[in-house]
Amino acid sequence: MTTAALDAMEQRLPWFNELGAQERSWITVVARSGIDGFVAWFGAEPGTRAAAGTMFDAAPRALTRKITLQQTVDLVRVTISVVEEQIQTELPRGDRQVLSTAIIHYSREAAFSAAEVYARAAEQRGTWDARLEALVVDAVMRAEADETVVSRASTLGWQSRTPVTVVVGAAPKDTASAAEDVRRDAERHRVNALTAVHGERLVVILSGPDLEVGPGSAERGIALATKFKARFGPGPIVVGPVVEDLVDASLSARAAMSGHRVAPAWPEGPDIISAMDLLPERALSGDGHARRILAHDIYEPLQSAGGDLLETCASFLDHGCSVEASARALFVHANTVRYRLKRIQDVTTYSPADPRDAYVLRLAITLGRLSQGRS
């Protein structure tokens, strides 16, 4: 029967002939074990439970990685079909009906056993993948991401050398299913995602085709994070800056974590907010990186631009954002002040006429002057 089953597999299953010698030997062992199990079960005492599950005990665990569940179902179906054919040709006519009924019952147990084996293997892989994913996220949060971490992430399906952003928000009530929900959304939106729960926060590392480093990267990061909004708990969701790849993701993670800690200081802000939009609050809370951004990326370019832009910005803020009052204080025409305000926005990307941007510029000027005073 085993030989006939293998011959039938070669004829009825096109993929069977493409298997290697090792895989074919595993299948031979499983088929022989299944047929022997049927003979032993049929000859056992009445009421004995079907031993169909033992047919997979002879195969190594690697079988579930080399042969899919669908292929295993095909193998069981062909083997059972061959046994039924052998019953109709090799056994006495009076025994055929009884044996045909018996093989139907046994085949049901064999099918359930196959499903159990693959379910157990999938559960073990899922547990291992979840543990590995948590290690990768933890390495990113502790700024220990290197090529080893990237290699571990690649085993989870992560595509290396792609722009990355880190999103931090409150963890949902059901933390047990949070990671699985994020993975399901990531698969639906066709993006890479690594996630883990850190205390009361849910951390999600995202990488998608729409992300890129440069102008407009913050808006793209927010748009991508919006797709996962339902997976976070109540409260603000902070999106870190987009970085080149997973090795640099700790920079985005640090900004996102710092932003999430201080987000309650700006309750009027949007539900999903960029960490760069929380620079003032981060600087006031002691974030040295935020202070350096304000001093070096906003104040120094404004000072280096010349054209009295720094003086005009400070005067405009000191005079309640009044163009006329600033013009009188600077002894220039009001249109000159308007022109300089436009230049300030071009240089810093912040408009002094916007209340929130004015707050950022005021703090940048203060920190920049303090930094120069210390130097």
Q: Is residue 108 within 8 Å of residue 167, measured between CB atoms?
A: no
Can you give the pLDDT at residue 128?
56
Judged on CB neighbours under 10 Å (0-12, 13-18, 19+), 138 is middle
Cα 94 from Cα 68, distance rounded (Å) = 39
pLDDT tens digits, 191-206: 988 998 888 899 999 9
Q: What angle do CA 121, 124, 126 make, to 5 degrees?
A: 105
35-44, 55-64, 188-197, 358-367: which range is least confident on average? 55-64
215: left (phi over 0), alpha (psi -120 to 50) or beta: beta
Cα 226 from Cα 36, distance rounded (Å) = 57
| C-alpha 327 chain-centroid distance | 53
pLDDT tens digits, 268-279: 999 999 999 999
DSSP state of 12: H
The superfamily (CATH) of domain 288-374 is PucR C-terminal helix-turn-helix domain (1.10.10.2840)
pLDDT tens digits, 49-89: 555 556 666 666 666 666 777 777 788 788 888 888 888 88
Cα 127 from Cα 238, distance rounded (Å) = 28
Cα 296 from Cα 92, distance rounded (Å) = 93
Can you give the pLDDT at residue 54?
62
Alpha helices by DSSP H, the chain:
2-12, 21-42, 63-66, 69-90, 93-141, 147-154, 178-189, 217-226, 249-262, 279-284, 288-292, 300-304, 309-318, 323-330, 334-348, 355-374
Output Rg (C-alpha) for the chain, integer angstroms: 33
| C-alpha 355 chain-centroid distance | 36
Confidence of residue 44 (pLDDT cuts 50, 70, 90): confident
pLDDT tens digits, 124-155: 555 556 777 888 888 888 888 778 888 878 87
Cα 293 from Cα 29, distance rounded (Å) = 66
Domain 147-282 has CATH 2.40.160.210: no
Can you give the pLDDT at residue 27?
80
Can you give the pLDDT at residue 183?
86
pLDDT tens digits, 93-103: 888 888 888 88
pLDDT tens digits, 168-191: 999 998 887 888 888 889 888 889
Starting at the earlier edge strand, list the strands of the sheet with 272-274: 192-198, 201-207, 165-170, 237-239, 272-274
Question: From the CB of residue 15, how many other CB atoms can be counted at a distance below 10 Å?
Answer: 12
Residue 56, helix vs strand vs coil: helix
Cα 315 from Cα 66, distance rounded (Å) = 72
